[in-house]
Structure 1
Amino acid sequence: MHFGLPVWLTIVAAPLITALFALATGYPSLRVKGHYFAIVTLAFNMVIFIVLMNYTSLTHGEAGIPGIPKPGSKGGLFNFRDRETYYYFMVICAVGMTGLAALIARSRVGQILVAIRQNEPMVTAIGIPAWKYKLFAFVTSAMFAGFAGALYAHYQSFINPDVFGVAQSLDAILAVIMGGSGTIAGPAIGAFIVVFLPEVLRFADSFRLILYGLILVLATIFMPRGIVGLSSDLFDRLTRRVQK
């Protein structure tokens, strides 16, 4: 918007820019572990939100940036100004990114990341620099977020700091918890729940947030592995009964 760059160029550049920010924040963040890591990244989130709110010469503050152009043109093969066309474009991007995540998970790097999650001291003991792989995961997830953010901004044609708040970060975490961490399908399923559950609970407007929170707490207690983990356990039980 400030420099008149082509839309497709900014969409491609977005994940690269977020990767640079992830490198700058990820290295010091990964020096701590567990809950402390979550607190540090949340603190970075709050710092970025404050900067976006006050750096008005760039972001226009709470007023945001209107008039963000959509890719393509009406005379082109695909008119991305049409919401239906843009929707299918987003579906293709989502499937592509999910496929890329699956390839990473099945690669040697993905197997090492699983090993780090299970027993990081043992991985370090056999000579694998765990922090490098954790930084890779940190940067890769930031690139995914940057790409999604660019698509969102050009779809909405407007963006302001509200979408960078803590609530949105918590929604992303809850999507992983509800769907099932450590899986490819889990976050996708959890995202549908996080998006649609508040809408379903609109009939109880006064108690909507209370019910929403209660459902999430119960799901975390009784489904620690998420919906994917619960489905896997049920399938294993049914398989055992059939074999008997």
Structure 2
Amino acid sequence: MNKLRLNWSYIAVTVAAVCLPAVFSGFPYAILICCFIMLYIIAVSGLDIVFGYCGQISMGHAAFFAIGAYGSALLHGYLGIPIPLTMLLGSIAAAAVGALIAYPASKLVFHFLSLATLAFGEIVYQLISHSPGNITNNFVGYYTESVSLFGFQINTNQRFFYFALACTLIFLIAKQRLIDSKVGRAFTAIRESRQAADGMGINVRKYKVMAFATSAFYTAFAGAMYAHLVKYISPDTFMQKQSVMFLTMLLFGGTASMFGPICGVAIVMVLNELLRSAERYQMLIYGGMLLMVIVLIPGGIYGTAETFVKDHMKKRKGMKAGAESQ
């Protein structure tokens, strides 16, 4: 019954998303925001795999976002490879880097792991802003082109929205399949207790590396989408505050769930637009939101709402059973 309800939820959300361009047909900027929401959902869903399900904190996911964006743009610009292929190649490269970083860092926990990922993010930022041979154009930035699928140019916000929606659905379905599999159960076991998971015969290092690599692939693909939506990238986009924004979106919506990242991304993006005049205080606002989530709603908005509904349903069932017994 719960699975059936979840499937209907997916269908309802998808239908609502498909109708968004028609609703905002007179507001092209609103459609652009919807495009950003779609690609950020992919990035934050990737972070949820490693943080929400596997319990490994990362403060450097902006680095994978950058690898996907620059990898796709540079491969297309210098080698002329078709953009859909460069997006996949950039994401695979990020997954490989994520695995390489995760292997030695798999024994690190809590603040040590967060510091390691923070350092990694800073290294990537320095590389793209002071690149060898100036291949990234450093702080000048790098221009790229729109996505082209089988000769069809995705060169408008409305076209890109449907492309992003299709990509988002594919990534969300893949995430659900992963979490429902043996690998997903291993991730959850590691999150609950590394020692207990190890005692049950789970190869903790192997699954941590898999979680980081999968998470990096998701976030890098979102970075590639960002590059070909905006058609211009510069190091300023991939600073530490981008990693903080990903984490804020995830915690605000709720971890270890399908709809948590969706809720978190949508709410934070809308708040960003409402508070655009206070851009210089962005990090302060993110910090305040994180503090509010940690103190008031540790399960995030979706997680808290889901818990409330479950408790309410249990209470109703208990009252019904009590009435029947009388």
Distance 2:88 2:278 in 1: 42
SS in 2 for 1:79: strand
CA contact under 8 A between 1:201 and 1:212: conserved in structure 2? no
Q: 1:99 — aligned with what?
A: 173
CA drift of 1:203 comes to 6.8
Percent sequence identity over aligned pairs: 28
Distance 2:125 2:196 in 1: 37
CA drift of 1:240 comes to 3.5
1:172-226 deviations in Å (ceiling 9; x for gaps)? 1111111111112111211112222122234777877655543432222111111
Amino acid at match of 1:82: T
Amino acid at match of 2:259: A
CA contact under 8 A between 1:70 and 1:157: conserved in structure 2? yes
Distance 2:196 2:230 in 1: 46
SS in 1 for 2:242: helix
SS in 2 for 1:153: helix
SS in 2 for 1:187: helix
Distance 1:45 1:149 in 2: 14
- Among 71, 82, 92, the alignment partner of 1:6 is 82
CA contact under 8 A between 1:46 and 1:166: conserved in structure 2? yes
Amino acid at match of 2:119: A
Q: 1:61 — aligned with what?
A: 138
Superposition map of 1:170-189 within 5 A:
170-189=244-263
SS in 2 for 1:192: helix
CA contact under 8 A between 2:248 and 2:286: conserved in structure 1? no
Per the alignment, do residues 205 and 103 of structure 1 end up closer, same or farther by CA in structure 2, a change over 3 Å counting?
Answer: closer
Q: 1:26 — aligned with what?
A: 102
- Among 313, 318, 321, the alignment partner of 1:239 is 313
CA drift of 1:85 comes to 0.7
Gaps of 5+ in 1: none
Q: 1:38 — aligned with what?
A: 114
Amino acid at match of 1:14: G
CA contact under 8 A between 1:64 and 1:161: conserved in structure 2? yes
CA drift of 1:101 comes to 0.6
Per the alignment, do residues 7 and 201 of structure 1 end up closer, same or farther by CA in structure 2, a change over 3 Å counting?
Answer: closer
1:118 aligns with 2:192: yes
Distance 1:61 1:175 in 2: 28
Superposition map of 1:45-194 within 5 A:
45-55=121-131, 57-66=134-143, 68-72=144-148, 76=151, 78-194=152-268
Per the alignment, do residues 119 and 64 of structure 1 end up closer, same or farther by CA in structure 2, a change over 3 Å counting?
Answer: same
Distance 2:157 2:280 in 1: 33
Amino acid at match of 1:64: G
CA drift of 1:159 comes to 0.8
Distance 2:227 2:278 in 1: 31
Q: 1:228 — aligned with what?
A: 302
Distance 2:276 2:134 in 1: 38
Structure having greater relative contact order (Cα 8 Å, sep ≥ 6): 2
Moved more, 214-223 or 224-233: 214-223
CA drift of 1:104 comes to 0.4
1:71-115 deviations in Å (ceiling 9; x for gaps)? 227x94x43112211111001101110111111000010011101
Q: CA RMSD in A?
A: 2.1
CA contact under 8 A between 2:130 and 2:138: conserved in structure 1? yes
Give aligned pairs, total: 241
TM-score for both structures, normalised by structure 1: 0.91
Per the alignment, do residues 239 and 44 of structure 1 end up closer, same or farther by CA in structure 2, a change over 3 Å counting?
Answer: same
Amino acid at match of 1:29: A
SS in 2 for 1:72: strand
CA contact under 8 A between 2:128 and 2:235: conserved in structure 1? yes
Distance 1:149 1:204 in 2: 25
CA contact under 8 A between 1:198 and 1:212: conserved in structure 2? no
